[in-house]
Amino acid sequence: MLEMPKFRDYMRIGRLQTAPATLLLLVISYLIGGGKLFSISGLLLCVFAIFAHGTTFAHNSLMDTISGYDARDPAKKTHPLVKGTVSINEATKVINVGLFFVTIIAVLFILLLNGNHFLALVCLVFFITCGHWYNDNFSKISVWKFIPITLCFTFLAFYGFYLSSKHMSSLMLCVGVYFALTLLFQISYSGELKDCFETKETNLLRCLGARVTTADEGFFVPCYAGFYGWGVKIVNVAVGGYIVYKYVPCPVSIIMFLFFAVLMLYFCHQLIKPRKWDRDKSLRDMSLMEVATIYMIPATLMPVIGYMEGVCLMLFGIIYFVILNRVNWGTMLKPKV
């Protein structure tokens, strides 16, 4: 049995503080398909989402360390695999066994629930394949890294939907597009901004002219990357607006949409504007941007997924995120990596 310090190391490796993002993506899709949150299958799916998130993100951390990229990144010096508090050999054994059980459990959900077994299995296969495509060094050598990881988690959303539904719905197609745009910004703008000093890695924002004048007391200059970031986020907001207009045009959904749209655009401005470079502040803004973008969907779709379900999922996500950041890193909104 793992000791508490070692267990915390594995929580850090798996970036478990960000698990609500995966949980909301998977479970909301399941609810849109007709699934019930307050049921054995719904609650077990929540637990599975956290386990799958931790295991797959740990695999990403492991591969980044084995490839040598994280060891060269000063921001990763506190990471357990870089510090050596967890050995590469031990992590390889634990994480790969975890991936095996993620697959087995995901298949059991398909077999035991009453959705579209074939399409759920197809989505699961693409989720796993695209995840390996991204994790197995592709994320460090190609500016097109956003393609596999966007596909990976979009297919996870459709997997959740097909666990409870036999046929695709136009609402789920729109939500799938919204999730894809959310992931696209998160990976190809926020993620690249976070790693802009790692010159050994390919970086889309640097290709678009973004730069920081110096590492110390530097000034961030977005150049064409700013137009790219604004373009993706504005389309993201527009798709959210279309979902509300088309499927839930009620006062509560409209108010929720306007509230989260303002937050999304505000934090987009904070991340894209020319400014004195502050990595810690940028990490906080990225976290808040992600929360606002993901929360727009359960907040606006409460008439569809259920008001109690939506409120419980959002409250759980915030409480979990704050507690896990405090436990893992001693912070409120951002990790120390």
pLDDT in tens, 60-111: 999 999 988 878 877 778 889 988 899 999 999 999 999 999 999 999 999 9
Return the exposure string of 20-41: e unless at least 16 CB atoms fall within 10 Å of the residue's CB, then b: bbbbbbbbbbbbbbebebeeeb
Q: Name the residue type at position 181.
A: L
Sorted by sequence, the CB contacts under 8 Å of residue 70 that are 6+ apart come out as 61, 64, 76, 79, 81, 82
Say if 103 falls within a structural domain. yes
Half-sphere exposure of 247 (CA within 13 A, CB side): 21
Domain count, the chain: 1
What is the gyration radius of the CA atoms in the chain, in angstroms? 19
Say if 3 falls within a structural domain. no
The terminus-to-terminus CA distance of the chain in angstroms comes to: 27
Q: What is the pLDDT of residue 337?
A: 59
Q: What is the pLDDT of residue 188?
A: 96
> How far apart are the C-alpha atoms of 192 and 190, rounded to whole Å?
6
Whether the Cβ atoms of residue 184 and residue 146 lie closer than 8 Å to each other: yes
Tens of pLDDT, residues 281-326 = 999 999 999 999 999 999 999 999 999 999 999 999 999 999 998 8
> How far apart are the C-alpha atoms of 43 and 313, rounded to whole Å?
11
> How far apart are the C-alpha atoms of 181 and 219, rounded to whole Å?
28
Q: Quick one: DSSP state of residue 333?
A: S
pLDDT above 90 for 331: no
Say if 226 falls within a structural domain. yes
pLDDT above 60 for 215: no
Sorted by sequence, the CB contacts under 8 Å of residue 56 that are 6+ apart come out as 99, 102, 131, 135
| Angle value at C-alpha 37, between 30 and 322, nearest 5 degrees | 95
> How far apart are the C-alpha atoms of 18 and 12, rounded to whole Å?
10
> How far apart are the C-alpha atoms of 84 and 201, rounded to whole Å?
22
* Burial category of 100 from C-beta neighbours within 10 Å (exposed 0-12, middle 13-18, buried 19 and up): exposed
Mean pLDDT confidence for 159-173: 97
**Alpha helix stretches (DSSP H) within the chain:** 4-13, 19-32, 40-66, 69-72, 80-83, 88-112, 117-133, 139-141, 146-164, 170-185, 192-194, 204-207, 224-247, 251-272, 279-300, 302-305, 307-329
Mean pLDDT confidence for 229-244: 98
Q: Quick one: DSSP state of residue 197?
A: T
Give the residue numbers spanning the domain of 160: 8-329
Say if 33 falls within a structural domain. yes
Mean pLDDT confidence for 274-286: 91
pLDDT band (50, 70, 90) for residue 332 = low
Say if 86 falls within a structural domain. yes
Whether the Cβ atoms of residue 293 and residue 178 lie closer than 8 Å to each other: no
Q: Quick one: DSSP state of residue 192?
A: H
The mean-pLDDT minimum among 83-87, 220-224, 257-261, 330-334 falls in 330-334
pLDDT band (50, 70, 90) for residue 4 = low
pLDDT above 80 for 3: no
pLDDT above 90 for 176: yes
Say if 229 falls within a structural domain. yes
Q: What is the pLDDT of residue 333?
A: 64
How many residues are listed for the chain in this entry?
337
Say if 337 falls within a structural domain. no
> How far apart are the C-alpha atoms of 290 and 136, rounded to whole Å?
25
pLDDT band (50, 70, 90) for residue 336 = low
Residue written as token pair 């977005």: 222
Say if 336 falls within a structural domain. no
Q: Percent of the chain at pLDDT above 90?
A: 80
Sorted by sequence, the CB contacts under 8 Å of residue 261 that are 6+ apart come out as 237, 240, 241, 296
